[in-house]
Every structure is written in structure tokens, then in C-alpha cells.
Amino acid sequence: MSLILRAAEPADVPVIRDLIEGLADYEKLRHECIATDALLEAALFGARPYAEVVIAEWNGASAGFALFFHNFSTFLARPGIYLEDLFVRPAYRGHGIGKALLQYLAQQAVARDCGRLEWSVLDWNVDAIGFYEKLGARPQDEWTVYRVTGDTLTQLANGAR
């Protein structure tokens, strides 16, 4: 079995939309999902791209994705990466794809001299919460935001977790 992670290209927009719709179904939020190919193309590949996408392919099929963008920490005076969405299709879970996507993002954060990688998770998603904590992420008490920094970020980037 082979896993390939690659940066999305404009031709991937329909796949990205399909993955987003899969995530919306999983989160029971399909009624809020209004993403269209045109909106995604403009936001991801237009004159000013607002986010980036990495696609996970398992044996040539789109198995999952991560959509992320830069944020900024005023206290660290450094950029960060904010993971907006991570989704692995149910049929492809259990193959390490989610961990590979997070490792890819950690590598990007380290390469881009970011101070942290963070994201939010729905409180009811106990499987995701357990997965993130196993990788070294910790919840922020005042927010439901997870963050990987310092040695833990480097360890994740290097596959040590």
C-alpha cells in the first residue's frame, strides 16, 4: 500500500470540494457547507491565496486532506500554521494517514520558522481528541484549541511520535 502526500493544484478543486463535503457529513454540518468549486478555486488558487491544501492519496485514490493557513503570534513575534480542517475518508482510516498529514504540517511549520501548529476540535469528537493527544498536542484551557510547539513540534516533524 502506498501513501502520497502532495500540495493541491487547481485541477484538484473538485476533489477538495468532495473531501470538504465528506467532512461536513461527518460533522453533521452539511447544511452549513456552501463551498463551490468556483469559491474554492478563487480562495485557494486566485490572485491572493488564503489557504493551502495537502491531499493524501492512498494507492492513487484521494483518501484525505488538510487545509491550513498562516496565522501570527504577537507574543512569539512569529508566524504559525493553523489547521482549519483535517479529514480522512472512513474507508482509509487506520492506515496512518491522519498522522502523516499532521507530520507534513509540522514539517512545513518547522521549515517556515513557525512558532506553533494549532487547531480546534469539536468537543464530541473523542476519537480525534485522543489521536491528537497521543501525538503530543495539548488542549488550551480557555479555548478548545490544540497546539504543538517546541520539542514536541520537532518530534512530530521528525516522526518521533
Rounded to the nearest angstrom, the gap between the alpha carbon of residue 74 and the centroid of all alpha carbons in its chain is 23
Q: What is the pLDDT of residues 16-45, one digit of tens each?
A: 999 999 999 999 999 989 999 999 999 999
Sequence-ordered alpha helix ranges (H) in the chain = 13-26, 37-45, 97-111, 126-134, 150-157
Give the model confidence (pLDDT) of 117-153 as tens digits: 999 888 899 999 999 999 999 888 776 557 788 899 9
Say how far apart CA 143 and CA 47 lie, in whole Å. Answer: 33
Which amino acid does the sequence have at 40?
A: L
Cα-trace Rg, the chain: 15
Hey, which residues are catalytic here? Answer: 132
Class of domain 3-157: alpha beta
